[in-house]
Amino acid sequence: MSVFLALNYKVMTHLGIFEKATALRLLIVDHSEIVSERLKAILSEVPMVETISQARDQQEARESVHKLNPDVVIVDIQMPGGGGINLIHEIKKVPKPPLLIVLTNQSSPQYRRKCMEARVDFFFDKSTEFDRVPELLKRLN
């Protein structure tokens, strides 16, 4: 079991997730339209979760994070325009960073370690843990 699977109460409290009566505002960052649309469809069934935007590359993601201030960002670490790990470092520098969930096919130990070093909150393998994302978001509400 990954270190990332444990809920991080401190992070979620910092984000005000426990204090909200409104939907979690979610940004999906994935270069694959098929994956993004599937994830959006699955998450539309989760109460109190609203997908506010989707980004296909690092630049779109960066702009969306600064413009929309999402509560949660689901990011793939493989994308055009630079790697997702660089994006994670940038997002963690915003004044009130969103909860970061990595959902990727790049799930080798070295990528997990790099993501942990970048301070992601959760890490899931697309091929085996895709369904854990909605479960996690249900628990956050």
Summarised one tens digit per residue, pLDDT across range 60-115 is: 999 999 999 999 999 999 887 777 899 999 999 999 999 999 999 998 999 999 99
Domain residue spans in the chain? 3-140
Position 5 pLDDT exceeds 60:
no
Average pLDDT, the chain: 87
Q: Which two tokens stand for residue 108?
A: 């080798």
pLDDT computed for residue 12 by the predictor: 52
pLDDT computed for residue 84 by the predictor: 86
∠ CA 109-88-80, nearest 5°, is 85
∠ CA 7-9-13, nearest 5°, is 135
Fold of 3-140: Rossmann fold (3.40.50)
Element containing residue 108 per DSSP (H, E): none
Q: Are 93 and 123 in contact (CB under 8 A)?
A: no
pLDDT computed for residue 82 by the predictor: 72
Position 11 pLDDT exceeds 80:
no
